[in-house]
C-alpha cells in the first residue's frame, strides 16, 4: 500500500471562499500534498478536475460538493459529497434522501463538522449536524479546522491573535464528535473518519488591519487525511480518482495533524491466523489478532477498543497488542506542541469480528 496525503473540504470563489481552483492547486503543491478535494456549497463545479503542475511537482485536484438546505434556519446538517458526478443539492431539504441519492449515484457522503457551535463574538450560528437518525452514509469529518477556530475565538481581540498566530488553534478533534463516532462504530456500523480543513482563505478587515486569515497553504499543512492506495498515483485521472475514493469508502486512511510534525509513515496493522489487514479493514478474531502501530516519531500512543482506552504507551514509536476478543480497535497519538498536549494522529479502526 502507498500512502498519499490529501486535504479535503475547501471553498473557492464558486461559493464563499476567496481563491480559485488554480490558487488552491498552487498552495497545495507548496505544502507538498498529493491531492485535494474541493467542495463548494451546493454547486458541483465542472471542468476543473485533473493534475496541476508547478515545476516538477504535480497535484491531483478533485471536485465534490458540500450540500445543505439553505432554507433551513439555522442552516445545519452539512454533507460532503464525493464522486457522485452530478449536482445533488436539489435533495438538500431531507438529509436521508440526500444520502440515499449519493449512494444511488455511486458517491460517498461524510457528515461535515458534526459539532460546530455558535460564536457570539463573530455572530456565527451553530451549524452542527442534527439529523442523527440518518443511516447509510460513508463517514464523518472527525476534525474540522474551522469549527475548532469558532471554539477559541471568544472576543474580537482573540480573532486578531489567532489571525496572526494560527498555529495555536488546533488542539484535537471535538471530544463530543469522537464520542459520537465511537458510539456509531461500537454499535456495529462502519463509519469512516476523515479530517477536513474547511479552508476559505477568508479576508479579515478590522479598522486598518487587513489580513487573509487561515490561507489555503496554512490549512494544507495542518489537518490532513492520509490515504492508503494499492499503487502510486499514475497520472491517469480516472484511475487515480477510483483508487482514492475506494480507499476513502473503505476507511483505509487516518487523520494527521501535520503541523507539529509530519505524520507520514504512520501505520496500524492487524495480523491473524490467515490474513493481515490495515486500518479500515475487517479480520476474524479466531485464533487472536496481533495489532501493531508504528509512528514516524515518538509520541503518546493510545489504543482504544469500542471507544475505551485499553493501552497507553508514553513517548513511544511503536506498540503491539494481542487482541483475543472481537471489537473495534483504533489508535490515537498525542504530542506536545506549543506548550500543550495535542492530538496528532487518529486512525480508522481495525474491525475484529
Ligand atoms: Zn459547512
Ligand atoms: Zn465548508
Per-residue confidence (pLDDT) for residue 6, from 0 to 100: 98
* CA 79 – ligand 2 centroid, Å: 9
Average pLDDT of the residues in 196-207: 84
Per-residue confidence (pLDDT) for residue 123, from 0 to 100: 85
* CA 196 – ligand 2 centroid, Å: 9
Relative to the alpha carbon of 68, which ligand is closest? Answer: 1
Integer-rounded Cα radius of gyration of the chain = 20
* CA 68 – ligand 1 centroid, Å: 8
Residue 110 vs residues 78, 258, 289, 311, 312: alpha-carbon distances, Å: 9, 22, 30, 29, 30
* CA 238 – ligand 2 centroid, Å: 25
Say yes or no to pLDDT of 204 above 90: no
**45-83 pLDDT tens trace:** 999 999 999 999 999 999 999 999 999 999 999 999 999
* Mean model confidence pLDDT for the chain: 95
Average pLDDT of the residues in 205-209: 73
> What is the greatest pairwise CA distance in the chain?
67
Per-residue confidence (pLDDT) for residue 202, from 0 to 100: 83
Residue 287: left if φ>0, alpha if ψ -120 to 50, beta else—which one? Answer: left
Contact 127, 116 (CB under 8 A): yes
Per-residue confidence (pLDDT) for residue 30, from 0 to 100: 97
* CA 333 – ligand 1 centroid, Å: 27
* CA 350 – ligand 2 centroid, Å: 29
* CA 113 – ligand 2 centroid, Å: 8
* CA 12 – ligand 2 centroid, Å: 10
Relative to the alpha carbon of 116, which ligand is closest? Answer: 1
* CA 144 – ligand 1 centroid, Å: 10
CA atoms within 13 A on the CB side of 45: 20
* CA 127 – ligand 1 centroid, Å: 7
Q: What percent of the chain has pLDDT over 70?
A: 100
Least confident interval from 47-51, 211-215, 243-247, 264-268? 211-215
Distance CA 309, CA 314 (A): 13
* CA 215 – ligand 2 centroid, Å: 14
Cis status of the peptide bond prior to 253, with omega within 30 of 0? no
Per-residue confidence (pLDDT) for residue 155, from 0 to 100: 86
Q: Which residue has the higher pLDDT, 201 or 348?
A: 348
C-alpha triplet 215, 88, 116: angle, nearest 5°: 45
Provide the pLDDT confidence category of residue 237 given band limits of 50, 70 and 90. very high
* CA 201 – ligand 1 centroid, Å: 14
Relative to the alpha carbon of 10, which ligand is closest? Answer: 2
Per-residue confidence (pLDDT) for residue 113, from 0 to 100: 97
Q: Which residue has the higher pLDDT, 207 or 305?
A: 305
* CA 260 – ligand 1 centroid, Å: 26
Say yes or no to pLDDT of 201 above 80: yes
Average pLDDT of the residues in 222-233: 98
Per-residue confidence (pLDDT) for residue 145, from 0 to 100: 86
Distance CA 285, CA 325 (A): 6
Relative to the alpha carbon of 8, which ligand is closest? Answer: 2
| Spatial CA neighbour of 5 closest among 223, 301, 299 | 223
* CA 17 – ligand 2 centroid, Å: 9
Per-residue confidence (pLDDT) for residue 186, from 0 to 100: 96
Burial class (CB in 10 A: 0-12, 13-18, 19+), 324: exposed
Per-residue confidence (pLDDT) for residue 265, from 0 to 100: 98
Provide the pLDDT confidence category of residue 289 given band limits of 50, 70 and 90. very high
**297-307 pLDDT tens trace:** 999 999 999 99
**99-121 pLDDT tens trace:** 999 999 999 999 999 999 998 88
Termini Cα distance of the chain: 23
* CA 144 – ligand 2 centroid, Å: 9
CA atoms within 13 A on the CB side of 248: 34
Owner of C-alpha cell 492506495 = 229
Least confident interval from 98-102, 133-137, 153-157, 265-269? 153-157
Say yes or no to pLDDT of 203 above 90: no
Per-residue confidence (pLDDT) for residue 3, from 0 to 100: 98
Provide the pLDDT confidence category of residue 146 given band limits of 50, 70 and 90. confident
Cβ of 129: how many Cβ atoms within 10 Å?
A: 22
Per-residue confidence (pLDDT) for residue 293, from 0 to 100: 98
C-alpha triplet 33, 38, 42: angle, nearest 5°: 170
Say yes or no to pLDDT of 207 above 80: no
Relative to the alpha carbon of 128, which ligand is closest? Answer: 1
**310-343 pLDDT tens trace:** 999 999 999 999 999 999 999 999 999 999 999 9
Cβ of 94: how many Cβ atoms within 10 Å?
A: 14
Contact 323, 350 (CB under 8 A): no
273 grid coordinates: 491466523
Relative to the alpha carbon of 200, which ligand is closest? Answer: 2
Amino acid at each position: 500500500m502507498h500512502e498519499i496525503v490529501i486535504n479535503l473540504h475547501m471553498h473557492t470563489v464558486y461559493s464563499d471562499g476567496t481563491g480559485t481552483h488554480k490558487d488552491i492547486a498552487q498552495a497545495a503543491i507548496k505544502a507538498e500534498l498529493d491531492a485535494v478535494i474541493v467542495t463548494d456549497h451546493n454547486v458541483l463545479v465542472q471542468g476543473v478536475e485533473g493534475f496541476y503542475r508547478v515545476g516538477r511537482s504535480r497535484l491531483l485536484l478533485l471536485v465534490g460538493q458540500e450540500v445543505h438546505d439553505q432554507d433551513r434556519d439555522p442552516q445545519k446538517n452539512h454533507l460532503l459529497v464525493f464522486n457522485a458526478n452530478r449536482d445533488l443539492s436539489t435533495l438538500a431539504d431531507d438529509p436521508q434522501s440526500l444520502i440515499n441519492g449519493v449512494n444511488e449515484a455511486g458517491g460517498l457522503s461524510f457528515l461535515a463538522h458534526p459539532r460546530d457551535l455558535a460564536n457570539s463574538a463573530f455572530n456565527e450560528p451553530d451549524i452542527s449536524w442534527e439529523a442523527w437518525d440518518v443511516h447509510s452514509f460513508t463517514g464523518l469529518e472527525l476534525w474540522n479546522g474551522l469549527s475548532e477556530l469558532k471554539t477559541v475565538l471568544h472576543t474580537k481581540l482573540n480573532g486578531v491573535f489567532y489571525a496572526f498566530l494560527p498555529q495555536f488553534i488546533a488542539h484535537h478533534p471535538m471530544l463530543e464528535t469522537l464520542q459520537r463516532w465511537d458510539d456509531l462504530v461500537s454499535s456495529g456500523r462502519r463509519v469512516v473518519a476523515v479530517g477536513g480543513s474547511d479552508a476559505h482563505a477568508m479576508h479579515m478587515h478590522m479598522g486598518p488591519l487587513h489580513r487573509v486569515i487561515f490561507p489555503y497553504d496554512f490549512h494544507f499543512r495542518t489537518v490532513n487525511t492520509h490515504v492508503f492506495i494499492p499503487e502510486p498515483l499514475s497520472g491517469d485521472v480516472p484511475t487515480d480518482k477510483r483508487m482514492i475514493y475506494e480507499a476513502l469508502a473503505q476507511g483505509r486512511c487516518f487523520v494527521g495533524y501535520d503541523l507539529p510534525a509530519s505524520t507520514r509513515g504512520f501505520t496500524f496493522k492487524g495480523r491473524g491466523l490467515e490474513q493481515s489487514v490495515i486500518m479500515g479493514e475487517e479480520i476474524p478474531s479466531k485464533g487472536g489478532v496481533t495489532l501493531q502501530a508504528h509512528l514516524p516519531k515518538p509520541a503518546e500512543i493510545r489504543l482504544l477498543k469500542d471507544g475505551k482506552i485499553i493501552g497507553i504507551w508514553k513517548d513511544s514509536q511503536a506498540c503491539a497488542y494481542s487482541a483475543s476478543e472481537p471489537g473495534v480497535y483504533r489508535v490515537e497519538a498525542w504530542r506536545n506542541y506549543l506548550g500543550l498536549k495535542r492530538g496528532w494522529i487518529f486512525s480508522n479502526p481495525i474491525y475484529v469480528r
